[in-house]
Structure 1
Amino acid sequence: MAEEKVKDISQEAENVILRLKEDGGGKLVLTTSQIRKFLASVNALTNKVDVYHAQNPGAVELSPTLASAVKYLKVQLAYQAGREPKKVKPFVETARLKERIDGIGTDLRAYEDFAHYVEALVAYHKFYGGED
């Protein structure tokens, strides 16, 4: 069943990128480097989550500190969207990133799914011709 969930995340990410490409008249206006900045933040947090999980093997919830760091990702998104409102904001809204972050709460698995979703967004962006 977990494999099916990953497929859904992948398909949803692909659909987001295709929608953005269609909205851009067949071109992705968002650059890879613009979304990779957010991916770097997610990856840094994922490293902390992995360490926490290794130290707490049975944990199914994030620590309060990690849950707070997840919420802080919204601030980073807002900053990027504010810097490039015509490029980044449509991406954030179409991918429903803020809603997905809100849905994580303290759920460790939900965070892992979110991290995979962001990775898939970057991968499909590059696959469908996103420029650097």
Structure 2
Amino acid sequence: MAEVMVAVVDGPYTFDADTVLALLYEAWPEATWRPTPPDSIDPSMGQLAIGGDDGEPPLLVDLLAGGEAITLDGGAPRIAELVARLTLLPGFPDDGSIVLTDWSEDLYPLAPRTSAQTLRESATEVD
């Protein structure tokens, strides 16, 4: 199991929740979304659960308010696939301003169209 974050460390780019959810539902139509209750102090807009029926632990995806980060908790192969899909979003910057934390020894800068294979190879620990 891994806990990582895709984070905007510099620049104006933000993750639009509706666009991210549409992208993830396209890949995982069985995913379930639980919005954060309005009176909660949780900084997340909500959590998407992917998988878990295949014997692998589910991947939990939290979209943080403001669109500056997405946290992921689950198996490294599924995380790599999801992060690779995020790099396909329109306008994804190619200047290293979006990073993957806790994936490798250093912050891992993401670029448009990063493959899941490349991400798996760069992981410090892969499930």
Q: Normalization by structure 2: what TM-score?
A: 0.30
Q: Higher relative CO (CA 8 A, sep ≥ 6), structure 1 or 2?
A: 1
Q: Which has the higher helix share?
A: 1
User: What TM-score do the two structures reach when normalised by structure 1?
Assistant: 0.29
Larger radius of gyration: 1
